[in-house]
Structure 1
Amino acid sequence: MDINLRFLSRWTQWVNTFFAPKATLKTESDDAQKGLISLKTIANQYQPRTGEEPVNENMSSPFICTAEDFIARESQIKQITDVINLWRNHHGEISAIVAPAGAGLSAFLGQIPSLLTNINTQQQDASTSTVKPLPEKGVIMSFYTAPLSARDAIANVCYCFDMQPPAAMTDTSITDIIIAINKLPAQLIVIDDLHKLMLRMMGNAQALVTFATIVMETRKHHCWILGCEKFAWQRLSAQYEITHFIKHVITFDYFNAKELARIQTKQLVDLGLMSDDYLSQETGNTESHRGQKSSEATHNKNDNDDAVNPYEDQLKQLHIISQGHPKLAILLLQYSLTHQADIAQSSGSEKSDNSTKHNSSTGSDNNSKQCTDICKINASALPSCQDSDLFSLAEIYVHGGLRVAQHAHIFAQTIEQSSLQLAYLARQGLIIAQYSQRDFAQHFYFITPALSKIIASHLVNNNKLFH
Structure 2
Amino acid sequence: MDINLRLFSRLSQWVNTFFAPKATLKTESDDAQKGLISLKTIANQYQPKTGQDPINETMSSQSIYTAEDFVGREAQTKQISDVINLWCNHHGEISAIVAPAGAGLSAFLGQLPSILASLNAQTQDSSTSKAKPLPKKRLIMSFYNAPLSASDAIANVCYCFNIPPPEVMTDTTITDIIIAINQLPAQLIVIDDLHKLMLRMMGNAQALVTFATIVMETRKHHCWILGCEKFAWQRLSAQYQITHFIKHVITFDYFNAKELASIQTKQLVDLGLIGDDYLTQETDKAEPNQTQKSSEATHTESEKNDEVNPYDDQLKQLYMISQGHPKLAKLLLQYSLTHQADIAQSSSNNKSDNGSKNNSNKVTDNNSKQCTDICKVNASVLPLCQDNDLFSLAEIYIHGGLRVAQHAHIFAQTIEQSSLQLAYLARQGLIIAQYSQRDFAQHFYFITPALSKIIASHLVNNNKLFN
TM-score (norm 2): 0.89
User: Is it true that 1:74 corresponds to 2:74 in the alignment?
Assistant: yes
Structure 1 match to 2:168: 168
Deviation, structure 1 residue 188? 0.5
Deviation, structure 1 residue 358? 3.4
Percent identity between matched residues is 80
Counterpart secondary structure, 2:97: strand
Letter in 2 for 1:82: D
User: Is it true that 1:438 corresponds to 2:441 in the alignment?
Assistant: no
Deviation, structure 1 residue 129? 2.5
Tell me if structure 2 keeps the 8 A contact 1:281–1:307. no
Structure 1 match to 2:290: 292
Please give the per-residue CA displacement for 1:90-149, whole angstroms capped at 9, x wherever unaligned. Answer: 000000000000000000000000110000112212143210101010010001100000
Tell me if structure 1 keeps the 8 A contact 2:87–2:223. yes
Rounded to whole Å, the distance in 2 between the matches of 1:432 and 1:68 is: 30
Tell me if structure 2 keeps the 8 A contact 1:254–1:323. yes
Structure 2 match to 1:221: 221
Tell me if structure 2 keeps the 8 A contact 1:425–1:431. yes
Tell me if structure 2 keeps the 8 A contact 1:94–1:245. yes
Structure 1 match to 2:87: 87
Give the count of matched residue pairs: 436
Tell me if structure 2 keeps the 8 A contact 1:63–1:69. no
Structure 1 unaligned residues grouped into runs of 5+: 1-19, 56-61
Structure 1 match to 2:155: 155
* Counterpart mapping for 1:24-423 below 5 A: 26-47=26-47, 65-287=65-287, 290=288, 292=290, 294=292, 299-300=298-299, 302-351=302-351, 353=356, 356-358=359-361, 367-423=367-423
User: CA separation of 1:243/1:341 partners in 2, compared to 1, >3 Å: closer, same or farther?
Assistant: same
Displacement over 6 Å in runs of 4+ = 50-55
Structure 1 match to 2:18: 21
Rounded to whole Å, the distance in 2 between the matches of 1:326 and 1:100 is: 12
Letter in 1 for 2:445: Y
Q: CA RMSD in A?
A: 2.5
Counterpart secondary structure, 1:383: helix
Rounded to whole Å, the distance in 1 between the matches of 2:293 and 2:417 is: 66
Please give the per-residue CA displacement for 1:212-242, whole angstroms capped at 9, x wherever unaligned. Answer: 0000000001000000000000000000000
User: CA separation of 1:194/1:53 partners in 2, compared to 1, >3 Å: closer, same or farther?
Assistant: closer
Rounded to whole Å, the distance in 2 between the matches of 1:296 and 1:358 is: 35
Rounded to whole Å, the distance in 2 between the matches of 1:296 and 1:156 is: 63
Letter in 1 for 2:243: T
User: CA separation of 1:375/1:359 partners in 2, compared to 1, >3 Å: closer, same or farther?
Assistant: closer
* 269-278 or 103-112: bigger deviation: 269-278
Please give the per-residue CA displacement for 1:44-96, whole angstroms capped at 9, x wherever unaligned. Answer: 00036x998999xxxxxx99943021100000000000000000000000000
Rounded to whole Å, the distance in 1 between the matches of 2:183 and 2:307 is: 57
Deviation, structure 1 residue 266? 0.2
Counterpart secondary structure, 2:119: helix
Tell me if structure 1 keeps the 8 A contact 2:52–2:438. no
Deviation, structure 1 residue 291? 5.2
Rounded to whole Å, the distance in 2 between the matches of 1:64 and 1:331 is: 22
Counterpart secondary structure, 1:121: helix
Tell me if structure 2 keeps the 8 A contact 1:402–1:445. yes
Deviation, structure 1 residue 279? 1.1
Structure 1 match to 2:5: none
Tell me if structure 1 keeps the 8 A contact 2:362–2:371. no
Tell me if structure 2 keeps the 8 A contact 1:54–1:434. no
Rounded to whole Å, the distance in 1 between the matches of 2:157 and 2:145 is: 13
User: CA separation of 1:271/1:235 partners in 2, compared to 1, >3 Å: closer, same or farther?
Assistant: same
User: CA separation of 1:296/1:257 partners in 2, compared to 1, >3 Å: closer, same or farther?
Assistant: farther
Counterpart secondary structure, 2:382: coil
User: CA separation of 1:293/1:314 partners in 2, compared to 1, >3 Å: closer, same or farther?
Assistant: farther
Rounded to whole Å, the distance in 2 between the matches of 1:37 and 1:52 is: 29
Rounded to whole Å, the distance in 1 between the matches of 2:269 and 2:294 is: 28
Deviation, structure 1 residue 357? 2.0
Letter in 1 for 2:266: K
Letter in 2 for 1:357: S
Tell me if structure 2 keeps the 8 A contact 1:64–1:70. no
Rounded to whole Å, the distance in 2 between the matches of 1:79 and 1:409 is: 40
Counterpart secondary structure, 1:466: coil
TM-score (norm 1): 0.89
Please give the per-residue CA displacement for 1:375-406, whole angstroms capped at 9, x wherever unaligned. Answer: 00100110010000000000000000000000
User: CA separation of 1:307/1:376 partners in 2, compared to 1, >3 Å: closer, same or farther?
Assistant: same
Rounded to whole Å, the distance in 1 between the matches of 2:349 and 2:373 is: 14
User: CA separation of 1:296/1:250 partners in 2, compared to 1, >3 Å: closer, same or farther?
Assistant: farther
User: CA separation of 1:164/1:24 partners in 2, compared to 1, >3 Å: closer, same or farther?
Assistant: closer
